[in-house]
Chain A
Amino acid sequence: MKLIYKNIRLLVCFTLLLLLGSCDDFEEMNQNPTKSTQMDPNLMLPTIQLQLSGGMYEQWRNGFIYSGDWMQQWTGEYATTEFGGKGQKNDAYMSALWDTQYPREVKNITDMVARTTGDPAQVNINAVARIMKVYIFSRLTDLYGDIPYFEAGKGYYEGVLAPKYDSQRDIYYDFFTELSEATQALNSANDPITQDFYFNGDITKWKKFGNSLRLRLAMRLTKVEPDKAKTEAEAAIAGGVMDSNNDMAVMRHINVPFGGDVYGGNGTSYVFMSTSPAESSYRMATPFVDYLEKTGDPRLTIFGRAYLKDEARTDVTSQVRTKLGSYVAMSLPVSTFSYEATGAAIKVDVNGEQTDVTPILQKLQPSKFISAIDAPYIIMSYAEVELWMAEVAARGWNAGITAQEHFNKALEAGVKQMTVYGVPEVSQAAINTFVTANPLVTGKELEQINTQLWVNFALNAQEGYANWRRSGFPNLTYRNRDPAVNQSNGQVPRRMQYPVNEYLLNATNVQAAAARIPGGADVWTARVWWDK
């Protein structure tokens, strides 16, 4: 009996030892060994920069299908015509940007700002984060109107699980404060920006980018609050904006297929080449080709070229151009499925062989330069800034020099910037011819400037769509190709509706925002605040 109790005591002791011995390790055991509780915010910047231009779906859905079809530069692809061209709503397409940016870019940029605010050793990275924050939110609010801003992305920091929606006016006013403070805070003597793709850590260029962004956003307000627009635009210019193509904000990409775990490619190119590496599903739309051809723009054949459908994408642009007589004949009408390309097959000479070119291949596809998966993505160009300044001057506000001077610089820079795609330089003589041939015409300045902005945004349809809504230029006619299924009163919609998920998960706040929309309903034909 004694032996039994002795044995039991031994066992109990042994068991307790095991239990207690391992209890101490519990906290360490519950710490993921592959993750850290700390991270230098500098390491998070390149991720945000990549994701802003490297995602395929938001570029496709909000970029090409909706904004893109309506801006009439590219057409042919199925969903673009079926949804954008017919004006049919698709919840997932409308909410694509929202669905990707909030839980990704907004979350990380909020964290970067929160952890660097007030830290004298992180002044520059804080300023950079604030500029990026404005950039991210500006694309969101321009598309949807009132959005969660002040409380957004604070699920962890402030425990806000269901953020309220802020008015676009408040958001814009805060943009200007943020940009003004951030650009002033930037100082080359302070902490270095170590992992930056856009400017390689150049603080001066960040300053110019911040002010240029402020200028872009200031110009959004010309319809709704011209005085504020003027104040902010002039302040931005005074603060120092981009003044050469060297100042452009450009994201670099690599050639990896989409869909894998590595997605370093250019989102626009993923969309262009989504069907086959041998043929883009997009074609240049008639209004775009027509305008470039009429203005003698050297960029026409940089944007678009005709290719055979073979592995090499053999270039037949000049042969087809000769047969058809014009580039416009090589374009596809707006909101058209590519298989609806009409005309007869032609035979052209390819390396001495007579080769059939079907109508669909006679149309200009996005060129190999701009549709390469590793093509760079222009976040903001110097040419754009010159065009804003041209408008500032044209409106009689202070932009240093005249509208014409700015416009000339913009055209020249606009052509020259295409070299970022690896395109051979266009000769200065050709550029001069183009610039001289397109002077500003009195009374038509705003139309000319904003149509050039439209060209500038040919690969960034969302910005083009925002500026078209503000300026009304170029004057585009919506094709409304199938009135029976159209859900936009036969007009180009003016915004994207809020995601269905918000109605499920954040009903009170989204309903309050919807009630503020002119007409009181969350419809895509209603206008955002600055689009009075």
Chain B
Amino acid sequence: MKTNFTLLKKWTTVIIMMLTIVYYRAEAQTTVVNGQCLSSEDNSPIPGATVLIKGTSSGTVTDLNGRFSISASSNDVLILSFIGFVSQEVPVGNHSVINIALVPDVKALSEVVVTALGIKRDAKALGYAISQVGGNELATAKEINVINSLSGKVAGVDISTSTAGPSGSSRVIIRGNSELSGNNQPLYIIDGVPMDNTQAGGAGMWGGYDLGDGLSSLNPDDIESVSVLKGASAAALYGSRASNGVIMITTKSGVKQKGIGVEFTSNYTAEKVLSRFDDYQKVYGQGRDGLLPMENNNNNTQSAWGPQLDPNLTLQIYNGETKPYGLVNDNILSFFRTGSTLTNNIAFSGGTDNATVRVSVSDMRNKDIVPNTGMGRNTFLINSSMKLGSKITVNGKVNYIAEKVDNRPALSDNPNNVGLAIIGIAPNFDQRWLAEGYKDAYGRYVDWNGNTYRINPYWSTNDMTNTSRRNRVIGFLQMNYDFTKWLSFQLRGGTDYYDFRYTNFMPKGTPLWETGALQEQTNHIAENNYEGLLKFNKEISEDFFLSAFAGGNIMHRRAEFQTNTGSGIVLEGIEAITNFTTQSNDYNLVRKQINSLYGAVQTGYKDTYFLDATIRNDWTSTLSKGNNSYYYPSVSGSFVFSNLINKNTPLSFGKVRASWAEVGGDTDPYQLSLTYGLKTFSLLGKPLGEIANTSVPNLQLKPTRTYSYEFGTDLRFLQNRIQLDLTYYSKKTTDQILPLIIPATSGYNTAIINAGEITNKGVELMLKGSIIASPRFSWDIIGNFARNINQVVKLHEQVKEYTLANARWAGAAVMAQEGETFGTIVGKKLLRDPNGNVIHTAAGLPMFGSEQEILGKGTYDWTSGITNVIAYKGFRLSALVDMKVGADVYSMSSAIAHTNGSSTETLEGRAGWYTSEEARLAAGVSPADWQPTGGYVGQGVVNVGTAENPVYETNTAFVNPQSYWGTFLSNSPEPFIYDATYAKLRELTFGYTFPSALFSKTPIQGASISFVGRNLFILYSNLPNIDPESSYNNGNGQGLEYGSIPSRRSFGVNFSVRF
């Protein structure tokens, strides 16, 4: 009993002592500390150095005289740092003046970047370009799909989105397109583990839905940094999937910190239509040939070739009601609503010397501008690390993501694409009328335009429903064992597993699916990676550094796809596959494994000369024996020449670098042999067998190869106030494994072959300048520029063209053609005389060539982003202008607007033609015998000679403008190919960080508020009505636009507080 009492007393003492400490801490004196920061070399003041209170983010920067002033407690520790100098920590104690001399860092520019396999490297040692973006740059002005926030921020990374909006996928292209058949997109590595970014589905020329990609699963608030490995050398260790570059995302992990380690962030934005519908004529209403539609005829709701608008006229619309025939303003915009996105995130983190942990939970809910469309996402992340004894460290991460998207918008030519329905409506027809009586008393669909391929948008958004859910787990377990200080072993198992379920319901009465239909798609996708890595890391002598590692990886991917479709609903309202009379079932299992061994050596001499080399060998399951093992090397080096020159020049740092790499690649499974299968349904009890391949299989496939080299320089002047990073690269991909499109007469659509050679060469430039760098006020400009020149050097001896995408109208396509750049837009041209005038028929209609000719290209010549950051005290204003120049787009929305007579260009000649027609009808003459007295006169010539000896005279024939503009949709895309160059105010943030003094009596460690906006203005564009960023998918065939849903701008507020 006595012992116990003693023990209790002992404990009590301890507790009282701890409380005292806490009390003491809380009562610690806050004083103002003044000081000066000098260089130890010459005692010159260092302006712009950072003074930070350790463990917090509160701090200041030194003024032009190197002086600073900061409120700190006596038990705080100040950290003084400046680029090129060794950071110093100084305890405040009871000092009120602290003068510090910083020692220049011989290892100048100790910028640590995350490189392949998660290995942290000093940036100056790298022989290739790598770009790193901090998490806060992505989390403030948030995008639901975090990768979109990179747009314009990294040179050479071209990001585009689809018109599906927030739930849609993104296309990320680094250093140009190099593959014909793959998706050309980079490999994503999240905390060392590859993440599956395949799209569950996209829209094609006949329509479809953008089912999103993997990146939408990531919570922007969890991201610590994003590294972009652009070149093959940077990525060579990741194998073939990395030949298009690697985007490495590191998530936040726990750190030892002051306070209780809670961070709360809340972000709200409103989304509005950004596209402006500025090319719609407001003179003529619905009808054809200038005539008011006949009663009971609603075939022309989307045809604006009627008489002049006149509110005193009336007409009967599809639902039997009589409506005025006057102009309706803002007809398109009124269909869309104001969207909203609310994101809340809370993270707890903390750590001891032996263990750290960070846990975060987020909730995102979005309502899109398309009615009834929205998305929700919850993420849960645990990131932890623990030291077991002195030799073993264990890390683990589990990230669970639950995503749900309601009613993804149908795109392209899908009958329920609301974009197509809405943009085609005649100017007198208020789209709101479509909501009135689109269903009859029995809930059945009422036809509104005589065209089953354009469903009433209210039926599309209210009655047709689709839902998709994705549940995903990304995680890894890692163990490190330190044999000695310089030798360690790492073993890691990582997984990315998700199931995706998509249901698309078409209720009874839906045009084309009259009996009702349901489509269910379930995917189970798992990619597991097991890796072992032996690491050697030693300074052999003071001058010579050597590190090396060798390891192996097993990648196993298993993807199951189950699709059930049903038609003929039995009990209305039950959206279950068992409730349909006819069903079909499809199941597919795709498996693939790659085993790899790899190694790397990195050396450094005197911190000035660096040389790296890597090698990797892969064994893949997708190629046949004899062809399935292949190795590839890389080598890179850098030279920090500024170490060898006089320190007193304006050059503060200078480095040149060069690298060369080869990467081998495999293909998708099951491409080697001819197989047979059954259709997903049987007919009247008979099985339906057929050849399963649509491609001619090929047992002889070889691995594909990418060769690349790059060199560049990193220069910094005037104590780093000006930074320039310049890279030239060249990349060649040969022996591509691709489904070569072959004539259908061969029986197959494609043949799997090794062929093709594509080159990409270009420069990337990053220039950063601190215009003003005073402690209170600073102004930085960061610009980047990338120019890529692509050439399809060679395709195949028999076939010289490869179709990347077909357009819905006028037979246009996006191609890869030998000798041309990747992604040419081709179609029939207008026939022209030697002087370039359009040749017309005697009747006055334009004539067209019979060959497919190049009319444009879907890829940009150069891209650029300019960010201005102005900071004043706690305020920070940042604006990013994003520019892309030199691509073209075939706007089928514009083509339709011309065919429908809703474009302003279609006004010319109407009055004259209608007058002429009135006169003709009054005279009772047939069109063939009538000489029109007015109408549209196509600009150009007419051949009055013979075909052999043409004689061209100016065309003067009057035609019905409706006939003139009606000829293009099935003949030529030429007039509707526009320059897709644009400049956008991509991002604007205006933030304020509250001074920490404000919270000195509260548990709050810091707080900030930002007003954020994304895609606020289109500063420059040549495209009528449509945002130039309006692709309906993220495939390789870019340059087509059709029935786009308007683009969105978003603006709102971001609030964050730490405890």
Task: Decide if B746 is an interface residue (CB 8 Å cutoff).
Answer: yes
Minimal beta-carbon separation of B673 from chain A (angstroms):
6
Contact present for B678 and A43 (CB under 8 Å): yes
Task: Decide if A90 is an interface residue (CB 8 Å cutoff).
Answer: yes
Nearest-neighbor residue (CB-CB) of B801 within chain A: A504
Task: Decide if A173 is an interface residue (CB 8 Å cutoff).
Answer: no
Contact of B675 among A36, A78, A503 (CB under 8 A): A36
Task: Decide if A148 is an interface residue (CB 8 Å cutoff).
Answer: yes
Contact present for A254 and B959 (CB under 8 Å): no
Bound CA span A111–B514, Å:
37
Task: Decide if B837 is an interface residue (CB 8 Å cutoff).
Answer: no
Task: Decide if A400 is an interface residue (CB 8 Å cutoff).
Answer: no
Contact present for A44 and B689 (CB under 8 Å): yes
Nearest-neighbor residue (CB-CB) of A158 within chain B: B746
For B801, the chain A residues whose CB sits under 8 A away are 504-505
Which of A148, A257, A502 gathers the greatest number of chain B CB atoms within 10 Å?
A257
Within 8 A of A (CB), among B847-880: 851-852
Within 8 A of A (CB), among B579-628: 582-584, 586-593, 595, 597, 619-622, 625, 628
Binds A, one of B7-15, B95-103, B268-276, B747-755: B747-755
Bound CA span A45–B752, Å:
27
Bound CA span A524–B803, Å:
26
Contact present for A155 and B513 (CB under 8 Å): no
Task: Decide if A8 is an interface residue (CB 8 Å cutoff).
Answer: yes
Nearest-neighbor residue (CB-CB) of B622 within chain A: A30
Binds A, one of B293-301, B306-314, B331-339: B293-301
Minimal beta-carbon separation of B966 from chain A (angstroms):
8
Contact present for A161 and B696 (CB under 8 Å): yes
Q: Known A32-B675, A103-B694; judge A152-B747 contact (CB<8 A).
A: yes
Task: Decide if B441 is an interface residue (CB 8 Å cutoff).
Answer: no
Task: Decide if A37 is an interface residue (CB 8 Å cutoff).
Answer: yes
Contact present for B677 and A275 (CB under 8 Å): no
Task: Decide if B641 is an interface residue (CB 8 Å cutoff).
Answer: no
Contact present for B683 and A254 (CB under 8 Å): yes
For B691, the chain A residues whose CB sits under 8 A away are 44, 107-108, 111
Task: Decide if A474 is an interface residue (CB 8 Å cutoff).
Answer: no
Within 8 A of B (CB), among A1-55: 4, 7-8, 11, 14-15, 18-19, 22-23, 25-27, 29-40, 43-44, 46-47, 50
Q: Known A19-B552, A163-B746, A505-B742; judge A258-B676 contact (CB<8 A).
A: no
Task: Decide if A174 is an interface residue (CB 8 Å cutoff).
Answer: no
Contact present for A506 and B743 (CB under 8 Å): yes
Contact of B676 among A36, A78, A148, A502 (CB under 8 A): A36
The count of chain A contact residues (Cβ–Cβ below 8 Å) is 92
Bound CA span A459–B746, Å:
30
Task: Decide if A259 is an interface residue (CB 8 Å cutoff).
Answer: yes
Minimal beta-carbon separation of A156 from chain B (angstroms):
5
Bound CA span A33–B591, Å:
10
For B565, the chain A residues whose CB sits under 8 A away are 260-262
Within 8 A of B (CB), among A241-275: 252, 254-262, 264, 274-275
Task: Decide if B646 is an interface residue (CB 8 Å cutoff).
Answer: no
Contact present for A4 and B589 (CB under 8 Å): no
> What 1/0 mask marks residues of chain A from 94 to 110 whose CB sits below 8 Å from any chain B CB?
00001100111011101
Task: Decide if A92 is an interface residue (CB 8 Å cutoff).
Answer: yes
Contact of A162 among B450, B628, B694, B798 (CB under 8 A): B798
Bound CA span A23–B623, Å:
12
Contact of B677 among A34, A195, A197, A254 (CB under 8 A): A34
For B513, the chain A residues whose CB sits under 8 A away are 257, 259-260
Nearest-neighbor residue (CB-CB) of A140 within chain B: B745
Contact present for B554 and A19 (CB under 8 Å): yes
Contact of A276 among B511, B803, B960 (CB under 8 A): B511
Bound CA span A88–B670, Å:
43
Contact of B621 among A26, A37, A46 (CB under 8 A): A26
Bound CA span A66–B688, Å:
30
For B597, the chain A residues whose CB sits under 8 A away are 15, 19
Task: Decide if A501 is an interface residue (CB 8 Å cutoff).
Answer: yes
Contact present for A4 and B681 (CB under 8 Å): no
Task: Decide if B720 is an interface residue (CB 8 Å cutoff).
Answer: no
Contact present for A277 and B748 (CB under 8 Å): no
Nearest-neighbor residue (CB-CB) of B690 within chain A: A47
Task: Decide if B94 is an interface residue (CB 8 Å cutoff).
Answer: no
Contact present for A154 and B621 (CB under 8 Å): no
Binds B, one of A227-235, A418-426, A481-489: A481-489
Minimal beta-carbon separation of B841 from chain A (angstroms):
8
Minimal beta-carbon separation of B1042 from chain A (angstroms):
15
Binds A, one of B117-125, B209-217, B229-237, B482-490: B482-490
Contact present for B696 and A22 (CB under 8 Å): no
Task: Decide if B28 is an interface residue (CB 8 Å cutoff).
Answer: no
Minimal beta-carbon separation of A474 from chain B (angstroms):
25
For A358, the chain B residues whose CB sits under 8 A away are 296
Contact of B746 among A15, A91, A153, A484 (CB under 8 A): A153
Minimal beta-carbon separation of A352 from chain B (angstroms):
23
Contact present for A155 and B567 (CB under 8 Å): no
Q: Known A11-B532, A485-B963; judge A262-B584 contact (CB<8 A).
A: yes
Within 8 A of A (CB), among B426-470: 447, 450-452
Bound CA span A483–B843, Å:
8
Contact present for A34 and B686 (CB under 8 Å): no
Contact present for B670 and A19 (CB under 8 Å): no
Within 8 A of B (CB), among A461-520: 482-485, 499-506
Contact present for B680 and A46 (CB under 8 Å): no
Task: Decide if B692 is an interface residue (CB 8 Å cutoff).
Answer: yes
Contact of B674 among A43, A156, A161, A261 (CB under 8 A): A156
Minimal beta-carbon separation of A12 from chain B (angstroms):
9
Bound CA span A159–B796, Å:
14
For A156, the chain B residues whose CB sits under 8 A away are 674, 693, 696-697, 747-748
For A103, the chain B residues whose CB sits under 8 A away are 694, 744, 747-749
Nearest-neighbor residue (CB-CB) of B851 within chain A: A503
Task: Decide if B819 is an interface residue (CB 8 Å cutoff).
Answer: no
Contact of B799 among A110, A161, A274 (CB under 8 A): A161
Nearest-neighbor residue (CB-CB) of A38 within chain B: B676
Nearest-neighbor residue (CB-CB) of B442 within chain A: A311
Bound CA span A345–B331, Å:
34
Bound CA span A61–B690, Å:
25
Task: Decide if B530 is an interface residue (CB 8 Å cutoff).
Answer: yes
Within 8 A of B (CB), among A324-368: 337, 339, 358, 360
Minimal beta-carbon separation of A109 from chain B (angstroms):
9
Bound CA span A19–B621, Å:
12
Contact present for B676 and A39 (CB under 8 Å): yes
Task: Decide if A160 is an interface residue (CB 8 Å cutoff).
Answer: yes
Within 8 A of A (CB), among B718-759: 740-749, 751
For A4, the chain B residues whose CB sits under 8 A away are 483-484, 487
Contact present for B747 and A197 (CB under 8 Å): no
Q: A4-B484, A29-B669, A37-B675 given. 6 additional CB < 8 A pairs?
A: A30-B672, A32-B675, A33-B589, A46-B689, A156-B748, A197-B683
Pick 20 A–B contacts, CB within 8 A, sort by A.
A4-B484, A11-B534, A37-B674, A39-B689, A47-B690, A88-B970, A91-B811, A102-B745, A103-B694, A161-B743, A162-B745, A162-B799, A254-B683, A257-B517, A261-B565, A275-B452, A276-B452, A277-B514, A484-B843, A506-B745
Q: Give B residues with C-beta under 8 Å from A.
A: 294, 296-297, 299, 447, 450-452, 483-484, 487, 489, 511-515, 517, 530, 532, 534, 552, 554, 563, 565, 567-568, 582-584, 586-593, 595, 597, 619-622, 625, 628, 669-670, 672-681, 683-684, 686-694, 696-697, 740-749, 751, 798-799, 801, 803, 811, 841, 843-845, 851-852, 927-928, 959-960, 963, 966-967, 970-971
By Cβ-Cβ distance, the 4 closest A-B pairs, closest first, are A43-B689, A107-B747, A39-B676, A155-B746
Q: Give A residues with C-beta under 8 Å from B.
A: 4, 7-8, 11, 14-15, 18-19, 22-23, 25-27, 29-40, 43-44, 46-47, 50, 78, 83, 88-92, 98-99, 102-104, 106-108, 110-111, 147-148, 152-156, 159-163, 195, 197, 252, 254-262, 264, 274-277, 337, 339, 358, 360, 482-485, 499-506
